[in-house]
Structure 1
Amino acid sequence: PEDPERRRFFNQTANLGVLSMAAVAGAFGVWRARRHPSVVTVEVPIENLPAELEGYRIAQISDLHLGPTLSGAFMRRVVESVNGLKPDMVAVTGDLVDGSTEHLAKHVEPLRDLSSADGTFFVTGNHEYYSGAEPWCRTLSELGLNVLNNAHSIVRRGSAKLMVAGVNDYRAHKILPAHRSDPAAAVAGAPECDA
């Protein structure tokens, strides 16, 4: 015969164990997210790259997901880390935020202080669309970022030209029909470039 007290004790102990593991895993995730931002260096070989573009340094910022866990203080540390690299260009490649401009605009303000020879460029990720992509694009543009929604910009170094193109998130049209990802539009009208 089954003992109801023993079963209740077992269920309560199992539930407490699962909740404890979830709490520890959640705390570990928050701790990892709030640490100093990591920098990974990747060298990308490009054949026939003009001498003027040799050693060109692009700092990429991606998937920060500023919001309930990460705030403006973390963004400030990211900006300081990036500026310390002395990049030629900064690329912010989406999923910057997990919330609206109303709640998070002040947390991205440190982006205004990014420093690079050829500017800072931004493309949307899916999370900007969940949070209001158009207000985010306006806010980031006001902070001095060059927003590339299916658009490009040309960076010149001496006689060398480098095209920087950005496309909207490939599912953006499901939220904003006018924001369909369009690589052809992103490069339309661009001059012949070296890279």
Structure 2
Amino acid sequence: MLRWIFFLALFGMIDLYAFQAFKTVVKNNWLLILYWCITVFVIGNFVFHYYGFNRSDGFTQAHAYAFGLLIALLIPKMVLLVIMFGEDVFRVPQAIYRYFTEGDTAKGNYFANRRQFLSKVALGIAAIPLASIIYGMYRGKYNYKVLKYTLSFEDLPEAFDGYKITQISDIHSGSFDNIDKVNYGVDLINLQQSDVILFTGDIVNNSADELKPYVETFSKLKAKDGLFSVLGNHDYGDYISWASKEAKAQNLKDLKDYQKQIGFDLLLNDSRYIEKNGERIALVGVENWGAGGFKKAGDLKKASQHIAKEDFKILMSHDPSHWEREVIHDDYHYHLTFSGHTHGMQFGIEIPGWFKWSPVKWRYKYWAGIYKEMGQYINVNRGFGYLAFPGRVGIWPEITVIELKKAVKEV
């Protein structure tokens, strides 16, 4: 209860400043009433869905939208708070000075009036994150982007020169609310006409039942050399309560069965060879391994036990912290690793090829795109779906296409 009192008090303080800016510019009483109606509705809706909320009971789309609307309301108001409070840094000392120098001549009104120009500027600036968040919830979450890279390797088998790989990750099917948009995303994947499709985990939020309505949709995925997948931390059903251990085990079995129906060859600490014109590359898939309290079911040694050290190796591992902590230091030398997990936090600023930033960089060193360390590459996919916040702002859902090239050895 105390945390809710604190939450409402904090929001009240933020609104104290936000409303001052609004009423300085807007004089229509109906618009002022509308301001409070929207505020009360959004806060009330959030409290209704989250009071007594326990993550183990499951996270619904209603929870997601309650959270999303709160963020859409809170961030712009925090912008107003910063600007209006900044003005008060000057207004308060002026008021104190007038109190001691003007006395009764000021007739008790020692504060200078809010400057309308500054309020207009503040509202204009606050409108930017508001519009961005609303767009992210309405359109951004399905604003699929195809990101293409070419990576060269001296020891790539000749037969695989020009080999194309499409990676998708973090589908989170339980979050989807528009099957037509998901179908569009699947068509866009197939349009790349890659040789193989790799999925790097988190096909659901919690339960295998979330995937059932989308089995037919994802069954449309096609690639000449097949579809391969691994599990992510959300796929094990660890974040919700189950009636019994048997029910949880059955859920994981059902999820594996659904993946098989789609056409995925699920690699559970296992490997496969992809052969072409008498040459081959090794594809290795580990179960989830994540630093910072995440499940560590991945076993790199077990997954690679049937391949040779000299093979050209591609690894699928859901969490990029695995690459940082174990993979790049392994003497097997995994040429290219595919990961996901971070979603790029679904929020950030990105100008492709020039600049990218997201708060998630403070949690993950490798959080989006291509990185190279110790002669090995990783691609961290930003995710196909979304989780918790029902949208994406600046960090769009991603379909990665990587073409492998045979590099000429330097003499």
Under TM normalisation by the shorter chain, which class is it?
0.7 to 0.9
Alpha-carbon distance in 2 for matches of 1:52, 1:62? 27
1:53 aligns with 160
Aligned match of 2:233 = 126
SS in 2 for 1:140: helix
Q: Does 1:32 align with 2:140?
A: yes
Picking from 148, 165, 173, the partner of 2:284 is 165
Amino acid at match of 1:193: D
Q: What amino acid is aligned across from residue 297 of structure 2 in structure 1?
A: R
Aligned partner of 1:193 in structure 2 is 311
Equivalence for 2:266: 147
Separation in structure 1 between the aligned mates of residue 263 and residue 277 of structure 2, nearest angstrom: 24
Q: Distance in 2 between matches of 1:74 and 1:122?
A: 22
Q: CA deviation at 1:189?
A: 1.7
Moved over 6 A (4+): none
Q: Which shows bigger deviation, 154-163 or 41-50?
A: 41-50
Matches of 1:116 and 1:154, distance apart in 2: 16
Native 8 Å contact 1:93 1:124 kept in 2: yes
TM-score in terms of structure 1 length: 0.78
CA contact (8 A) 2:174 2:211 kept: yes
Aligned-partner SS, 2:218: helix
Map 1:14-33 → 2, pairs under 5 A: 16=39, 21-22=73-74, 24=130, 27-30=134-137, 31-33=139-141
SS at match of 1:75: helix
Distance (whole Å) between structure 1 residues aligned to residue 269 and residue 157 of structure 2: 26
Deviates more, 1:161-170 or 1:184-193: 184-193
Amino acid at match of 1:65: H
- Are the counterparts in 1 of residues 201 and 230 from structure 2 also a CA contact under 8 Å? yes
* CA apart distance, 1:67: 2.1
Higher RCO (CA < 8 A, seq sep 6+): 2
Distance (whole Å) between structure 2 residues aligned to residue 66 and residue 72 of structure 1: 10
With over 3 angstroms needed to count, the CA separation of the structure-2 counterparts of 1:95 and 1:74, relative to structure 1, is farther
Name stretches of at least 5 consecutive residues in structure 2 with no aligned partner: 1-12, 21-35, 44-69, 76-129, 239-250, 314-411
Deviation, structure 1 residue 71:
4.7
8 Å CA contact retained: 1:60, 1:92: yes
Q: State the partner residue of 1:180.
A: 297
Contact 1:150 1:181 in 2 (8 A): yes
- Report the Cα offset of residue 26 of structure 1: 5.0
Structure 2 vs 1, CA of residues 139 and 175 (structure 1 numbering), >3 Å: closer, same or farther?
Answer: farther
- The letter for the 2-side match of 1:154 is Y
1:84 aligns with 2:199: no
Equivalent residue, structure 1, for 2:4: none
Asked whether the 8 Å contact 2:288–2:298 carries over to 1, the reply is yes
1:70 CA displacement: 4.6
Q: What are the superposed Cα offsets for residues 28-56 of structure 1, whole Å, 9 maximum, x if unpaired?
A: 33221023x21100112111212210000
Q: Quick check: 1:10 aligned with 2:16? A: yes
Give 2:208's match in structure 1, choosing from 97, 101, 112: 101
Unaligned runs of 5+ in 1: 1-6
Inter-partner Cα distance in structure 1 for 2:288 and 2:147: 24
Aligned 8 A contact 1:58 1:87 in 2: yes
Moved more, 42-51 or 131-140: 131-140
Larger Rg: 2
Give how far 1:122 is off.
0.5
Instruction: Classify the secondary structure of the residue corresponding to 1:139.
Output: helix
- Report the 3-state secondary structure (helix = DSSP H, G, I; strand = E; otherwise coil) of the residue aligned with 1:43: strand
Which of 61, 65, 79 is the equivalent residue of 2:172?
Answer: 65
Q: What residue is the counterpart of 2:333 in the other structure?
A: none
Q: From 214, 218, 226, give the equivalent of 1:111.
A: 218
Give the superposed CA RMSD.
Answer: 3.2
Q: Which amino acid aligns with 2:147?
A: V
Deviations 1:53-104 (A, max 9, x none): 0000000011232223455333322221111111000001112322422233
